Structure 1
Amino acid sequence: MTIALHHCEDITEHARRLDGWQQEYDQLEEGHFSGDIVDIAGREMRLFRESVNLGLSQSIHFPETQWHLVLPTHGPSDGLFPADALTVLPRCEQFWSVAPGRYDLLVLSIDRHRYGWLERDERRLRTLAVPAPLLASVRQQWRGMTDYLLAAQAQGGPPSRLQAVLSRQLEEGVALLLDDCSRSLRLDPACYRTRRYIVDRCQALTRERPDDPPSLMALCRRLKISRRTLQYSFQAETGQSPVHYLRALRLNAVRRSLLREPSQRIADAAAQQGFFHQSYFGREYRRLFREAPSTTLNRALGQESRGGRHAP
């Protein structure tokens, strides 16, 4: 068993911290980002807890050799993952979701040769009905484990002799949740409704021409929908207007570019995402990330000079 704990003040670095998961996160809420990951990996299963302070958009490619099940650490939840059930993530090329601010999730990964009945409708987002007392008990146990590990980090890390205890507790929790193969898998239509498709297509069309992103009216014409439908779809699926959401994606792309290539000019990085008015760009960048573009660039230059820069 291996145990890894990560605290990140940078959303791009945070997205890279889960070994084997290909992720890209875009910050949607204004403020300084802060995120924590507790990662407990055994031979055939893995439990990690991810918590962040700000709302974000997630584009994820999961390891294909495992099932992935999500359980919020507390309820009620108003996002994609209900607090009263286990959510089974779909088998797909890329999974997209919007996570609210201050979210805190437990994610269980299990080798695919176990619990073969989870294959039913495996390319759909599904929920697994588990009796409420049992679900609450396992959630409390796993949250307690990860809380302990976070607290122990400040004292130099947990003693190695605890690994056997953690492994046993993880196995027991998985058995309680999944050994009853009669549990019903319910398809969740939320991921496939029209308004989610609209948001997904608008993101793709905007990224096709980052230097000349389509206007809202152009998006409406391309998708053959009204402005009202566009507005409602974004508000329902992301909690933001299409203008704010799509602009945030472009600002995040500039930030990743500055971190990846700190030798470039800020104006060039901004122009590649369609920001040509520098005072407007600087104002919106500071509003979202609570720092100037030059601060991001200087930090990246400092990491490069110390030989600590990582490729996103």
Structure 2
Amino acid sequence: MNGDQDGRHPDRYRVLFAISMQLENHTFTDAGEHAALLSGWEQQYFQLDCGQFHGRLQQIGSDGIHVFYESVNRRIVQQGSTPSDMLVFGIVLDASSPVTFADRAVTADSLICARANREFVLHFPGETAILGIGVKLPFLRERPELAARLESRFFTKTSVIPLEPGAREQFIALWRYVTDEAFALNAFAESELAQRTVTAQIFEMLDAVVETGIHDDKADITWMSHSDVVARAHEMIIARPLEPVTVHELCESLRISRRTVQTSFRLVTGKTPVEYMRAIRLNYVRQLLRKAPAGELTVRDAAQRWGFFHSGHFTQDYRELFDAMPSDNRPK
């Protein structure tokens, strides 16, 4: 997937909403301009192949954590250093041959892990797209458990490690969802809600990659049954309809691991936590639509009351769950 194939948003777009929120989309015809706009990085891009350069850079996030996508159509070499206060993780989406980072081949089933203030040389072999997450050290200091897991999981002697089966696809799917949601939230939600929601969603991307393949010896619940985990999650959903509950918040609130949350939902509901929580919110939207005449409450208003700001995602999820369109459930 290169930059020209993903045409969901304008080719050149930049918005800052709430002071610390970032939502950017750029296209370039010069590799140097491309390099200069990646937030916080000290680097240079050098074009090696003949022909006009086309690059794309998309950045979404906040002061503490952000996700970035970049693509190029020519072979380039990147040289510089990672930000002094940021850990960086990246996966290759498309490349004609392996990307090279720190003298290591980066294939589609591997993950780049770069510490803060690390000098690097990165070779893109033309027609390459990469997706990354940058997480700032102050953000991690507020989350010592995550910091410890990142350290033990990723930062070994090598900067390129193999991904667990399915992790890459999950990471990409989450990125596409977060991207669409960020633009929808920017258009329809209050800035503080948009900032919190997008930051939490990107954090979920990072947390999901960290958890993948890790065996948790504390997965067995001792003081709380699996059904209690689901019941407590349900209470959190109802208490905060505008802002979807994340798996990370469940873990912190219930003081249990991500794997325990996943196991509880699978055993009790047959669904993942995200699937279950989305289904509950969709049911509440359906109840609103069945009670209120169209003249009193629009489908969009009903959806947004339960945190669905992207109309395409909402309609697709609603149709899959109820085998009906939202408009089908209005009072006759």
Structure 2-normalised TM-score?
0.46
Structure showing greater relative contact order (alpha-carbon pairs closer than 8 Å, 6 or more residues apart): 1
The two structures have a TM-score, normalised by structure 1, of 0.49
